[in-house]
Amino acid sequence: MLKKKDKYIVAVVGATGAVGKEMVTVLEERNFPVEKLRLFASERSEGKIINFHQRGVTVEILTEKVFDGIDIALFSAGGDRSLQYAPIAAKAGCVVIDNSSAWRMDPATPLVVPEVNPQDLKWHKGIIANPNCSTIQMVVALKPIHDAAKIKRVVVTTFQSVSGTGSKAMDELFHQTADILNFRDVKPVVYPHQIAFNCLPQIDKFMDDGYTKEEIKMVNETKKIMNDDSIRVTATTVRVPVFRAHSESINIETEKKITANEVRALLSKAPGIIVYDAPEKGVYPLPVFAAGKDEVYVGRIREDHTIDNGINMWIAADNLRKGAALNAVQIAE
């Protein structure tokens, strides 16, 4: 267990990626008590300079020997590197907060969203998993409803921005859009099909049952974070031509009756949520509005009249912040 100190030596592993850069930004914006910041990436990024509190920090090569003396390491370097380096870091006395999927379903590793299950941090053994971006924003909105009326079933369709794939995907959307507007041929590289002016009903690989790995992540992670295996979740995840911030359409069935107004009142008091719900005035969550913000925006709250106890809602949140970097820093806090 990490000893409480005034300031900590903090590392960001995968510091030059989209999420890694956002982690550095969030650490600075929230004035996390950093005594020294160390940045790690692959060999091709060695020597790059990233600014932190108006000082340049040089990116180092990640090796097995770098973790001595580091208190907290925020990992966003992919599952393979997390599997290799996180146990080494933990053995060196460092607390690892890992953004990949490598440790999320490990029974010995807590999977944490601070607004939902902070109590699970108490039993970590050196590694803490940061959930999937689409799961994080959903469970923030689900938790108050579950506490009040017990959720039986969730049907979610996601509309996920390209930044969830990384910087190369953002570049691909930009260049494809320019190519189409200039009547040039489009050549998909990051995605299997054109993403500009299109929607792709595939995120990650397809499994034998026809679901994608992203959809299965949402099912399994929701149950673990909410500490309730009885919640039935089914998901369809879609990549859309948006640069930043994920949106989700969520249908919820509860055991107890709860009205739309009661849901609005609950969510208005819940941490990390802004109820943005006046559709008659054109007020509802939009990814362009959620981008760069910390909160999960919830709107289009209405009762589902096809079942006894049903609620529909639409949510949007910044996948690089609450869906990744911010949640990791909140765990560290």
Q: What is the DSSP string of 75-133?
A: E-S-HHHHHHHHHHHHHTTPEEEE-SSSSTT-TTS-B--TTT-GGGGGG-SSEEEPPPH
Does the active-site annotation cover 133?
Answer: yes
User: What is the third-level CATH fold of 135-319?
Assistant: Dihydrodipicolinate Reductase; domain 2 (3.30.360)
Query: Is a pLDDT exceeding 70 seen at residue 1?
Result: no
Of the candidates 270, 312, 289, the one whose C-alpha atom is nearest the C-alpha of residue 144 is 270
pLDDT confidence tier of residue 266, bands split at 50, 70 and 90: very high
Position 299 scores a pLDDT of 98
Q: Where in the chain is the domain with CATH 3.40.50.720?
A: 8-102
Position 292 scores a pLDDT of 96
Structure token pair of residue 254: 């509860």
Instruction: Report the pLDDT averaged over residues 284-297.
Output: 97
CATH number of the 8-102 domain = 3.40.50.720
Does the active-site annotation cover 146?
Answer: no
How many Cβ atoms sit within 10 Å of the Cβ of residue 249? 15
- State the DSSP code for 223: H
Catalytic residue among 94, 124, 133, 146: 133
pLDDT confidence tier of residue 154, bands split at 50, 70 and 90: very high
Of the candidates 237, 255, 252, 333, the one whose C-alpha atom is nearest the C-alpha of residue 300 is 252
Position 4 scores a pLDDT of 82
Position 5 scores a pLDDT of 84
Q: What is the pLDDT of residues 294-317, one digit of tens each?
A: 999 999 999 999 999 999 999 999
Average pLDDT over all residues of the chain: 96
Q: Where in the chain is the domain with CATH 3.30.360.10?
A: 135-319
Of the candidates 238, 328, 235, the one whose C-alpha atom is nearest the C-alpha of residue 287 is 238
Q: Tell me the β-bridge partners of 51.
A: 56
Q: What is the pLDDT of residues 112-136, one digit of tens each?
A: 999 999 999 999 999 999 999 999 9
Of the candidates 247, 251, 229, 225, the one whose C-alpha atom is nearest the C-alpha of residue 238 is 247
pLDDT confidence tier of residue 327, bands split at 50, 70 and 90: very high
Catalytic residue among 94, 124, 146, 246: 246
Position 3 scores a pLDDT of 77
Instruction: Report the pLDDT averaged over residues 253-258.
Output: 98
Q: What is the pLDDT of residues 28-80, one digit of tens each?
A: 999 999 999 999 998 888 999 999 999 999 999 999 999 999 999 999 999 99
- pTM of the predicted structure, to 2 decimals: 0.95
